Homo-oligomer: A and B are copies of this chain.
Amino acid sequence: MSLIVAKFGGTSVSDIERIKNAASKIAREVESGHKVVVVVSAMSGVTNKLVEYCSDISPIYDVREYDIVVSSGEQITAGLMAMALQKCGIVARSWLGWQIPIVTDGTHGKARIENIDTDELHNRLNDGEVAVIPGFQGITVQGRVATLGRGGSDTSAVAIAAALKADRCDIYTDVSGVYTADPRIVPAAKKIHKISYEEMLELASLGSKVLQTRSVEMAAKNGVPVQVLSSFDDEVGSARKGTLVTNEVNIMEQELVSGIAHSRDETKITVVGVEDVPGIAARIFEPLAKAAVNVDMIVQNISLDGLTDMTFTVPRNEADLATKTLKENVDLAYQDIVVNDNVSKISVVGIGMKSHAGVANTMFRVLADKSINIQVISTSEIKISVLIEEDYTELAVRSLHVAYGLDA
């Protein structure tokens, strides 16, 4: 008998039929003897609608009131899910953030969970009751509602699993797992059955939008095995083939490369003709950091005639803020700021890289063979990323997928 936290995303609870379908999956877990906590997102579209209401009142709003408005989406699903479980013959009740309570650090709109009181939940689970908890919400120590930021329901689920010392956290979503590449680009892409937290973090932040990054970090920190599953498949138990995200040591047959990720959400910015003196990087990146711009890849050209170029990437929706910040705040002479959206970031990810040389070499050779120009390179222990012209995205991903033997 295991204790399982099961989380259903917005598309998995988008209407009453899907809520009933999700409930029937939980009913089978309960009938198998497991204790289950269900975490739910808002029905798809609801949160966007509520956020729109807030923006329509005022572009700048009180985020404490925003939290009251948007947290209601998950509240609705929680009540409906409890009803649907009861309809399946399961004893179930909803628990709002303030009823448990789930206490956060109080940063409204993007709060971090600090403590979850589990005594009563454990009592109810031991009595065979299923707890349904709205994701995305907690309270502050002042007793006000605080939300965790977009996608926060994954984080809620993992945090609750960690607090309850659950055996597993199942994330039901609209994809059946994590793939070696985007199947829309690489038809031969295969589902990854086991992956380490570190690899998942690299894949998630690079565009395989299956799990929210914060939730993976939290799972890694607390050692919570996370299983990504499709809520649209009807298999249960061992017949289900999702992706299990777990500790490196639990992964027996480690592939050299686990997957090829790509992201079109980057913008390349080049500060041209900067005087090449000590401290220029600090003078460029400090104002950006203060403006909360997330700078990713950075490369500085070799100096010519005492002038150099500084190139870096930022998320595309932060490009305007980055440019404005540079123009207004950089205490530095430069000739021009060139912004280029026509780029794509391609990443090769794999824990096996740690102990194998030549992974980067293979990447560079494959791209060169296809005449794809590499604009920027960045590396970590388990990842190599390159920035290329956007038009070459599919060709690059497919070629690398073959080169690392992932089609096999």
Binding site for B on A (CB under 8 A): 16, 19-20, 50, 53-54, 56-58, 61-62, 64-69, 72-73, 75-76, 78-80, 82-84, 86-87, 93-94, 96, 98-99, 143-145
CB pair A75 B82 closer than 8 Å? no
CB pair A96 B80 closer than 8 Å? no
Residues of B within 8 A of A87 (CB): 57-58
CB pair A76 B69 closer than 8 Å? yes
CB pair A93 B65 closer than 8 Å? yes
Residues of B within 8 A of A80 (CB): 53-54, 57, 65, 69
Closest to A86 in B: B62
- Interchain CB contact (< 8 A) of A69 among B61, B68, B79, B98: B79
- Interchain CB contact (< 8 A) of A83 among B20, B65, B79, B96: B65
CB A319 to nearest CB in B, in angstroms, measures: 29
Closest to A64 in B: B93
Q: Known pairs A62-B83, A65-B93, A72-B76. 8 more at Cβ < 8 A? A: A53-B76, A58-B83, A65-B79, A66-B79, A68-B96, A72-B73, A75-B75, A96-B145
Residues of B within 8 A of A69 (CB): 75-76, 79-80, 83
**C-alpha spacing A56/B79, complex, angstroms:** 13
CB pair A68 B57 closer than 8 Å? no
- Interchain CB contact (< 8 A) of A82 among B16, B65, B98: B65
CB A70 to nearest CB in B, in angstroms, measures: 8
CB A8 to nearest CB in B, in angstroms, measures: 15
Residues of B within 8 A of A54 (CB): 79-80, 83
Closest to A132 in B: B65
Residues of B within 8 A of A79 (CB): 54, 65-69
Closest 7 CB pairs of A and B: A68-B79, A69-B79, A72-B72, A16-B56, A65-B79, A57-B83, A65-B82
**C-alpha spacing A76/B78, complex, angstroms:** 16
CB pair A57 B75 closer than 8 Å? no
CB pair A57 B16 closer than 8 Å? yes
- Interchain CB contact (< 8 A) of A68 among B66, B75, B144: B75
| 25 A–B contacts, CB within 8 A, in A order | A16-B53, A16-B57, A19-B57, A20-B57, A54-B80, A57-B83, A57-B84, A58-B84, A58-B87, A61-B83, A62-B82, A62-B83, A62-B93, A65-B79, A66-B79, A66-B83, A67-B79, A69-B76, A69-B83, A72-B73, A72-B75, A72-B76, A75-B75, A96-B145, A98-B98
